[in-house]
Amino acid sequence: MARRPFGGFYALMFITLTKHLQPAPLPVDDDPRWARIVARDKSADGAFWYSVATTGVYCRPSCPSRRANPANVQLHDTLQQAKATGFRPCRRCNPDGPSLEAANAAMVADACRRIEASEDEPSLAELADAAGRSPGYFHRVFKALTGLTPKDYAAARRAARVRQGLEDGVSVTSAIYDAGFNSSGRFYEKSTGMLGMTPTRYRAGGANEEIRFAVGETSLGTILVASSRKGVASILLGQDPDALVRDLQDRFPKARLVGGDGDYEALVARVVGFVEAPALGLDLPLDVRGTAFQQRVWQALRDIPAGHTVSYAEIARRIGAPKATRAIAAACAANALAVAIPCHRVIRKDGALSGYAWGAERKRALLDREAGGTATTYRSSRA
């Protein structure tokens, strides 16, 4: 009985020692969460937070601020733990509320709605003031998220209004002013590039627009070249000439398709020569029809020299829309001018070919040919 207090003492000592012998936490730079902070992993936001002793702030994992020394970093499982440090929330990543990315997306969405709802084009200063940001910051964020400047976006919306008005059957004059143009002169200066034809012809659905075309043969299969009065509007590749003509009819359902004469067949021969020997170049007027964003992408593609390739992400960076990789891929897929707008020169970031509207084997053959190596022999899937 006299030993009970002594035994109790040892029990207390055992509990105390056990408590102090618990494994020490991993050094921050050995913790798997640190790698996610280094990578600025957005998917980690909300899973944990971290604080930095030297700056006196706490952040979300995706914070864009300069990377801290891990010796000065403490990791927190909850936002409450991060706040308990007594540090202030980071102004760049706003760990207490929506991420900067989400806030910017909401800001741009609101600006787009303002542009679409306004009868007159809002100025950059007006849009930036409504967003509570400087004009320079607002302009950079808007372009990064949409791929267009606010001015280009407004122009694209006006063009869409004009097209919708003409398709609905209103007069050309009404469509022009309803779309927000202050004068018909300003509209007609841009109408051909905007509509691909005169407003009156567009209002008629492109009826009777003359499209000349001819079919030829290349080592990559059959090629169809078609032109409007403005320039070459389609270069289609395939195996079946009849299928290519049907494709052309689908692209210009109300146009009048006219088989090319000898002079036009000479133009087709130039396109065929370019396919076979890319070093020849292709200096022909083009009728490029697409949205403002698509046209920016296609111009960036035309700037890629033969023998070179770039990734979709790099094209997005070049046009000032680094987050628009999927939209870049969609613009490449919508390209109707094979080889003239060289979407075959765009590959995946890992070097894989990715898709190609005219077939992956044709893409490989074109790239091998342009690289100056032994040309890959094209094999039709029908062979």
Indicate the angle between helix axes 135-146 and 124-131, nearest 10 degrees. 90
Task: Look at residue 181 in the predicted model and tell me its pLDDT.
Answer: 54
Do 130 and 189 form a contact (C-beta atoms < 8 A)? no
Give helix 150-167 / helix 124-131 axis angle, nearest 10°: 110
Quick one: average pLDDT of 289-310?
A: 88
| Residue 99: per-residue pLDDT | 74
Residue, of 143 and 9, whose pLDDT is higher: 143
Length of the chain: 383
| Interval 80-85 mean pLDDT | 94
For residue 374, the model assigns a pLDDT of 45
Instruction: Name the active-site residue from 59, 63, 90, 332.
Output: 59
The predicted pLDDT at position 367 comes to: 93
> Residue 12 pLDDT more than 70?
no
Per annotation, catalytic residue among 90, 112, 332, 343: 343
Residue whose structure tokens are 């050309």: 172
Cα dihedral: 13, 14, 17, 21 (round 10): 180
Domains annotated for the chain, with CATH where assigned, are: 29-97 (3.40.10.10), 100-147 (1.10.10), 292-371 (1.10.10.10)
Q: What is the pLDDT of residues 305-339, one digit of tens each?
A: 988 999 999 998 888 888 888 889 989 999 999 99
CA separation for the pair 161, 154 (Å, rounded): 11
pLDDT at 206: 52
The secondary structure of residue 210, as a DSSP letter, is E
> pLDDT of 137-180, one tens digit each?
999 998 888 878 898 888 777 776 666 655 554 554 554 545 45
Q: Is 343 a catalytic residue?
A: yes
Task: Respond yes or no: is residue 93 known to be catalytic.
Answer: no
Which of the four pLDDT bands, split at 50, 70 and 90, describes residue 252?
Answer: confident
Measured CA angle at 52 (ends 50, 58), to 5 deg: 50
Residue 279 DSSP class: G
**Higher confidence at residue 155 or residue 2?**
155
